Amino acid sequence: MSEHMKREAVLRPLIFETGSPESRCIESPALDIPDVDISSVLGGFARAQQPHLPHVTEVEIARHYEHLASVNFGVDSGFYPLGSCTMKYNPRIDEWACRLPGFAGAHPYQPAETVQGALGLMWGLQEALGEISGLPAVSLQPAAGAHGELTALMAIRAYHVANGDVRARVIIPDSAHGTNPATVAMCGYSVTQVPSNERGGVDLEALKAALDTDVAAIMLTNPNTLGLFEENISEINRLVHEVGALAFCDGANLNAILGRARPGDMGFDAMHINLHKTFATPHGGGGPGAGPVCVTEALAEFLPGPVIARDSDGSFMPVTPSRSIGRVKSFLGNFGVLVRAYTYICALGAEGIRDVAEQAVLSANYLKERLRGTYDLAYDRTCMHEFVLSGERQRKQHGVRTLDMAKRLLDHGVHPPTVYFPLIVHEAIMIEPTETESLEVLDGFVDAMLAIAAEVEADPEMLHAAPYTTPVRRLDEAAAVKQPDLAWKPAE
Ligand SMILES: *Cc1c(COP(=O)(O)O)cnc(C)c1O
């Protein structure tokens, strides 16, 4: 047994099981207004019993949350190479900026002339994202990547409809993120899938066969979900435009090409950007994000409103584009996320932004080269910000699955990479180190991966029961999805 197998973690009681009925955090002052029987107002909707709230002291609450934070794994606790997610460190200055009272305390109903600073920031972010993407018209409204995809495809549909052009299909490569086909279905189009070629790019012959005037758009991720730059991107977008279709770039992987290449220059008509991946908003817990959409001038009038415009006198105003698809989000979007992104971009500047991409790509290629041989590469090419290994050999030779190896990484203090995605790679392990990790951290990860590969050969049985050091061990993942039990219930 290795040393990682010795420590059995102890689960602490839930907060409901802590404290005593007399414990209090605060003492409310005595009521100085008449007591009202609320059930006379609420009728049948009044609760029959008091809610089961924990009775704890302030120190017990403090320790409860401190403990929860300590068993939670985040970018601030360790290496988090979750492919396709860009789990990079989020600089504290961005958190500082979005908490400034003028930003955090602004009310969405305030008249525009009283929030010129906030609107000016949004305008500046639109300009910056337009420059970075090469697609000048920008809406900051969508609240997530998938939401941005939907918004862009709705704008593309509105464009075709405005041209009296009825089209039914959208083309997506088989390496795509699951949100792409979901977006297509929600827009009322049907999906035509094209296969990848042996280099991990779009199979051009299959694409040509799929293209005709029934195609509304192609949705392409570049770099794609294999971490590979689409070598034929100009040709692909030329073919797409030839049949009157438009090209959408899933920009979730923008981190890899920041300041080096622009989707607009590659011939794309629209893209979404995941601010919570590329532009430093903490994510992973399902918190607020933002998926701005950038489009060509031809699509600008279809963007959701409001977008921020600058008047000739220099003032900023929310305006609705002339043939807007309408609102996709209340008020002005997830403003706090926009402040973080703008701060991040300003703090780094043009050169710093380019450094991000270069470091991210360098880190990924370093890991790929150090793990080559021990693990099989799904596609043996220079990668961008991430790369995909296959655990198929370990499964065939030793009966150890990628899932087992991923779980074992937890014992090494590393958040496992993305596994079993993209779907076209058997036993996929998708690693994205990001630009914010030092060489020491990257080497530590390689050491862990090499140690696990040795364990696969020496003691495959042991890996089936990993992890050994986490508060909970191997969970029933199917049951966790199908029958989630998330609510604590008091003992009767
Ligand atoms: C993360 C991701 C998305 C979806 O973004 P969300 O903000 O999670 O909705 C779409 N495409 C790719 C390639 C992604 O990695």
| pLDDT for the residue numbered 5 | 43
Distance CA 269, CA 247 (A): 5
Q: Is the distance from the beta carbon of residue 283 to the nearest atom of ligand 1 less than 6 Å?
A: no
Give backbone dihedrals phi and psi of 242, rounded to 5 degrees, phi first: -60, -30
Q: What is the pLDDT of residues 387-397, one digit of tens each?
A: 999 999 999 99
This model's pTM is above 0.85 = yes
* Residue from 149, 174, 274 to probe ligand 1 pocket by mutation (most atoms less than 8 Å from CB): 274
Enter the DSSP assignment of 242.
H
| pLDDT for the residue numbered 218 | 98
Domains of the chain: 92-348 (3.40.640.10), 356-482 (3.90.1150.10)
Q: Is the distance from the beta carbon of residue 289 to the nearest atom of ligand 1 less than 6 Å?
A: yes
- CA 164 vs. chain centroid, Å, equals 35
Q: Is the distance from the beta carbon of residue 430 to the nearest atom of ligand 1 less than 6 Å?
A: no
Q: 119: which 2 tokens?
A: 């609107």
Specify whether the CB–CB gap between 369 and 346 falls below 8 A: no
Residue nearest to atom 8 of ligand 1 (CA): 145
Q: Is the distance from the beta carbon of residue 175 to the nearest atom of ligand 1 less than 6 Å?
A: no
Q: Is the distance from the beta carbon of residue 224 to the nearest atom of ligand 1 less than 6 Å?
A: no
Evaluated on CA atoms 323, 324, 326, 332, the torsion sign reads negative
How many residues would you count in the chain?
Answer: 492
Distance CA 362, CA 134 (A): 24
Q: Which atom of ligand 1 is nearest to the CA of 221?
A: 13
Q: Which atom of ligand 1 is nearest to the CA of 86?
A: 15
| pLDDT for the residue numbered 10 | 58
* Residue from 85, 86, 179 to probe ligand 1 pocket by mutation (most atoms less than 8 Å from CB): 179
Mean pLDDT by 10 residues, the chain (492 residues): 45 84 88 86 85 90 90 89 95 96 95 97 98 98 97 98 96 95 97 96 97 98 96 98 98 97 98 96 86 98 97 96 96 96 98 98 98 95 97 96 96 94 94 97 97 97 94 87 84 70
Run of H or E residues at 190: strand 190-194
State in Å: Cα 120 to ligand 1 middle. Answer: 28
| pLDDT for the residue numbered 37 | 82
| pLDDT for the residue numbered 386 | 97
Q: Is the distance from the beta carbon of residue 390 to the nearest atom of ligand 1 less than 6 Å?
A: no
Q: For residue 377, what are the β-bridge partners?
A: 389
Q: What is the pLDDT of residues 449-485, one digit of tens each?
A: 999 999 999 999 999 999 999 888 888 889 988 998 8
Of 202, 198, 262, the C-alpha closest to 235 is 202
Distance CA 463, CA 409 (A): 10
Q: Is the distance from the beta carbon of residue 177 to the nearest atom of ligand 1 less than 6 Å?
A: yes
Q: Is the distance from the beta carbon of residue 281 to the nearest atom of ligand 1 less than 6 Å?
A: no
Q: Is the distance from the beta carbon of residue 225 to the nearest atom of ligand 1 less than 6 Å?
A: yes
Residue nearest to atom 6 of ligand 1 (CA): 145
Q: Is the distance from the beta carbon of residue 145 to the nearest atom of ligand 1 less than 6 Å?
A: yes
Give the 3-state secondary structure of residue 153: helix
State in Å: Cα 179 to ligand 1 middle. Answer: 7
| Nearest-10 Cα torsion for 12, 16, 20, 26 | 110
Locate tokens 């074992």: which residue? 408
Of 154, 144, 114, the C-alpha closest to 334 is 144
Distance CA 461, CA 3 (A): 16
State in Å: Cα 250 to ligand 1 middle. Answer: 8
